[in-house]
Structure 1
């Protein structure tokens, strides 16, 4: 299982906006340099977070700022904003089981209930992790020279 790259890029952008948004105009070009991603990818992610109300973006010269406090931004909200199918992609059943095999014919029915429970648990967990905790972890790692203590 893994969380979509869009989600990690969005978290990266939010940390950057939180840390530097008061002193710098945070543009897609600046976020592109920080994340190592194409500016178009950044603009799409920023646009999705703006649409969800997580950030504000000034028109014209640009500049992103947080629209809500970091303690109100959950990892689930971020991922749902930038990749609405993130949890489904994370926990999914292979796409082409054989209809000629008894296991292949029935695997979806076998796993659906279990995977639905797992998805619910993942969502609850992701909702409990906020940008406040993520920024705290960033500061811990920053102070320790790059190692989580």
Structure 2
């Protein structure tokens, strides 16, 4: 299972809310992974223009405000895709079978609607929402 999206949300939240300069190692310690994986996710976020870093200086900054950063653009940055594709149609269906011949056409519209709905939901939420949820969770404990 690919966790780059949730790791990116963790990283971006830390960058947004930390008063300290965060290194890859500090981020890795919080995420519970190794610094090389953090650098890979950070590279994706930088390539998408979501964060900046300065040469010779450790630490990262958000390139825009959390309320301007949608979860959909973060998802696309981490998955390196232009559309959400959750469901794959199996290959090599028997075209001589009445089900095999038509199954792709039968399920594709349903899959497309579900994926489109997910894109709309992610586009309707921002990093600010994640940060607010984080503070609400912290207050409960």
Q: Does 2:84 align with 1:87?
A: yes
Q: Does 2:52 align with 1:56?
A: yes
What's the counterpart of residue 136 of structure 1? 132
Per-residue CA shift, 1:92-123, capped at 9, x if unaligned? 33345444533233221111122112211110
Moved beyond 4 Å, runs of 4+: none
Q: How big is the shift at 1:65?
A: 1.0
Whole-Å Cα distance in 2 between the matches of residues 46 and 105 of structure 1?
A: 44
User: TM (normalized to structure 2)?
Assistant: 0.89
- Aligned positions, number: 140
RMSD: 1.9
Structure 2: runs of 5 or more not aligned: none
Pair 37,99 (structure 1): closer, same or farther in 2 beyond 3 Å = farther
Whole-Å Cα distance in 2 between the matches of residues 9 and 42 of structure 1?
A: 8
User: TM (normalized to structure 1)?
Assistant: 0.84
Whole-Å Cα distance in 2 between the matches of residues 12 and 97 of structure 1?
A: 40
Structure 1: runs of 5 or more not aligned: none
Aligned positions of 1:1-149 closer than 5 A: 4-20=2-18, 23-85=19-81, 87-88=84-85, 90-145=86-141
